[in-house]
Amino acid sequence: MDIQQFEDKGLAQYAYAIYSEKAHEIIVIDPARDIRPYLEYAKAVNAKITGVIETHPHADFVSGHLELHRVTGATLYCSKRTGAAYPHVTFDEGMRMMLGDIVLKALNTPGHSPDSISVVLIYGGEPRAVFTGDTLFVGDCGRPDLREHTGNVTADRNVLAKQMYHSLREKLMVLEDDVLVYPGHGAGTLCGKSLGDADSSTIGVEKVSNWSLQPLSEPEFVTALLAQQPFVPKYFPYDVGINREGAPDLQPSLDKVKITAAIAEENITVIDTRPQSLFKQGHLIHAINLQNGGKFETWLGSIVAPGESYCLLAENETELWEVIRKTAKIGYEPYIKAAAVYTNNGRETMAPLPLEDFRVHPERYTIVDVRMTSEASDEKIFNDAIAIPLDQLRERISEIPSDKPVVVHCAGGYRSAAGSSIVAGALKNKVQVYDLGEAVKQFVQ
């Protein structure tokens, strides 16, 4: 028996392949959009992928389960509550499947979503591991506020929080302490709020160290779980819908993206993924500087709404295809009107902030804080800053006055590059806009 973990660092997402040497068969759990790693693993161990289990319809990424079915003939499994539109076999409480001498048993564990399941791996007659999806993480549990308005079954966050309380205690904590915990996400995901850095754990360790498994009353747990959850990106409900239907095959979808020699300046959103230093030297009017970094996918799906057409720019061809593939991880590749390598045709520039003047006379500037609400409330950097989270900035630009130069900041520079470009595109004809960038660290107490 072998358990292989696959990590998508950008989305802090884990998928798994369970291999039975006896049967030469593999079951994949929660695959990412790109199915090549699972096919390569199967080829390496000379085995066939015979099943794919979806622990729930994911909100933060598009799953490759339907393409795996098409390519390998694997049976797709999910809870009946998912209401899946793709061909599938239901896999709910008490149901078991055999994988050679391995038994996989389903547990209904609602809380993150009404249709969440966990999968217990039994080997040699004993539970050895549990794949917990977005129910139990290392150091945390899944957030309960993503299914109030989407999915086959919707549920109020308070109802799901109560269900999470019971799922953790009545389904997972009753497992033996040495049972391995394989979660659906690691630190950095927006599907939880305080995950640990480890990529796996045990039930016993989590009982000691995970706040959500401590001896709390149900009301205490619900209050703690609902407090200060991260923001919900615009694309989350959209991805739930895609995953219930099943996504189109990846490569044919990528082949439809229109690659052009240049992007014309026109009335359409332009996502410029180049480093901020290059962007500030020259860019297209109204372009948004969303740099190709570790969280590109999340911020693309937070700034751009599902269905909104946009153009994509990159520094070179390699970077261009990298960001195109990243858009596909959240199902945004159909909305790329055109994609191109930047050709130095942008007339817009952004001047550097006169840092010493700002340091001495911050009152001469309008300061905009684009960090998340919880960040801004926990640690104020500038007392008079206007707090508008980056994911809301385009919709709330009218709240920024234009009687003084505007300085945009975040916690480290990545978000302020995007935020200042959004503000500049909207207000530059009225007022000078600056990006505080990494210099914000000089002002943190």
Sequential DSSP letters for 186-235? -TT-SSSSS--S-S-EEHHHHHHH-GGGSS--HHHHHHHHHTTPPP--TT
- Cβ atoms of 132 and 182 within 8 Å: the answer is yes
> How does 339-349 read in b/e, with b if 16+ C-beta sit within 10 Å?
bbbbeeebebe
Task: Give me the residues paired with residue 98 across strands.
Answer: 103
pLDDT of residue 344: 87
Q: Which of 99, 100, 128, 107 is nearest to 28 (CA)?
A: 99
Question: What local confidence, expressed as pLDDT, does residue 328 receive?
Answer: 98
pLDDT, position 378 = 86
Q: Let me know how many helices (H) and strands (E) the chain has, helices first.
A: 13, 22
Domains and CATH numbers, the chain: 2-239 (3.60.15.10), 248-341 (3.40.250.10), 355-442 (3.40.250.10)
Q: Which residues have a Cβ under 8 Å from the Cβ of 333 and sit 6 or more positions away?
A: 253, 254, 256, 257, 324, 327
Distance CA 385, CA 312 (A): 31
**For position 420, what pLDDT does the model report?**
98
Kindly report the pTM of this predicted structure. 0.95
- Tell me how far apart the alpha carbons of residues 28 and 16 are, in angstroms, rounded to a whole number: 6
Contacts of 272 (CB under 8 A, 6+ apart): 279, 283, 284, 287, 288, 289, 290, 313, 342, 421
Residue the block writes with tokens 């009017």:
285
Q: How far apart are CA 193 and CA 237, in angstroms?
A: 19
Question: Residue 264: what pLDDT?
Answer: 81
Q: What is the DSSP string of 341-401?
A: E--S---B--PPP-HHHHHH-GGGSEEEE-S-HHHHHH--SSTT-EE--GGGTTTTGGGS-
Over the range 194-211, which residues count as b (16 or more CB within 10 Å of their CB) and which as e? ebbeeeebbbebbeeebe
**Which pLDDT score, from 0 to 100, does residue 43 have?**
98
User: What string of pLDDT tens digits covers the 445 residues of the chain?
Assistant: 999 999 999 999 999 999 999 999 999 999 999 999 999 999 999 999 999 999 999 999 999 999 999 999 999 999 999 999 999 999 999 999 999 999 999 999 999 999 999 999 999 999 999 999 999 999 999 999 999 888 888 889 999 999 999 999 999 999 999 999 999 999 888 888 778 889 999 999 999 999 999 999 999 999 999 998 889 999 999 999 999 999 999 999 999 999 999 998 778 999 999 999 999 999 999 899 999 987 999 999 999 999 999 999 999 999 999 999 999 999 999 999 999 999 988 999 999 999 999 999 999 999 999 999 988 888 899 999 999 999 999 999 999 999 999 999 999 999 999 999 999 999 988 999 999 999 999 998 7
